[in-house]
Chains A and B, each alone.
Chain A
Amino acid sequence: NAGVTQTPKFRVLKTGQSMTLLCAQDMNHEYMYWYRQDPGMGLRLIHYSVGEGTTAKGEVPDGYNVSRLKKQNFLLGLESAAPSQTSVYFCASSSKRWDRARPSNQPQHFGDGTRLSIL
């Protein structure tokens, strides 16, 4: 059981280049999330997905796109990278549970992160 796997672990891009970060989870989780982590700002939600074929904007979505064609994979794309997107990116997933007919928050499980530098 690998949990949540992110690729690549490191990447250096030039301004204007594009790339895709891949997240894969083997826990059959419904929900998946992409965060960016910057010093002193904690984890900020970029986009999330509540199931295969669905995505939604988070707190800081500008400059990013996502896709979830398969339940186990959640892709984060940068179409035209900018220096402001230099950050550590984390993917996470959580299960969908109900407790006494009400939605029940479950822990999020994180990948190891991708360190992205844009020159």
Chain B
Amino acid sequence: GENVEQHPSTLSVQEGDSAVIKCTYSDSASNYFPWYKQELGKRPQLIIDIRSNVGEKKDQRIAVTLNKTAKHFSLHITETQPEDSAVYFCAAPPIPHPGGTSYGKLTFGQGTILTVHP
């Protein structure tokens, strides 16, 4: 199945700095790459996603870039704030079943603990 590796496992930045988290995936047919944010004790929530037909997507202070050739995608957070502190997960769909669907399944990375110091 799909193998998703996420780095770094922990990231500490000063408020106002940028943060970058990178994920690599193994299945070149993967075409959907979401990022989830999970605050302590809360549910994972989708913050941004990208499909394989674009190389970059931006939403205010967060952006995701995709390099299909190298099979990696990255989350970029600019002008970080203390409320950005959370665990971030990347994900990618596993190899599709015959017929072309993965039934919406996702393989998640191990997570990155981001701490933004005031």
Contact = CB atoms under 8 A, between A and B. Distances in A.
Interface string A44-70: 110010100000101100000000000
Contact of A33 (B1, B34, B93, B105): B105
A42 B104 contact: no
A74 interface: no
B29 to A, nearest CB: 12
B44 to A, nearest CB: 5
A96 interface: yes
Interface in A96-114: 96, 102-113
Contacts of A33: 104-105
B93 A105 contact: yes
A44 B89 CA distance: 12
Contact of A106 (B42, B44, B96, B104): B104
Interface string A77-115: 000000000000010001110000011111111111100
B110 A41 contact: yes
B67 interface: no
Contacts of A104: 32
Contacts of B49: 107
Given A103-B96, A107-B34, A110-B45, A50 B103 contact: yes
A50 B25 CA distance: 24
A110 B103 contact: no
Interface of A: 31, 33, 40-45, 48, 50, 56, 58-59, 90, 94-96, 102-113
23 contacts: A33-B104, A33-B105, A42-B89, A42-B108, A42-B111, A43-B108, A48-B105, A56-B103, A58-B105, A90-B43, A102-B100, A103-B96, A103-B100, A103-B101, A104-B32, A105-B102, A106-B104, A107-B34, A108-B104, A110-B43, A110-B45, A112-B42, A112-B43
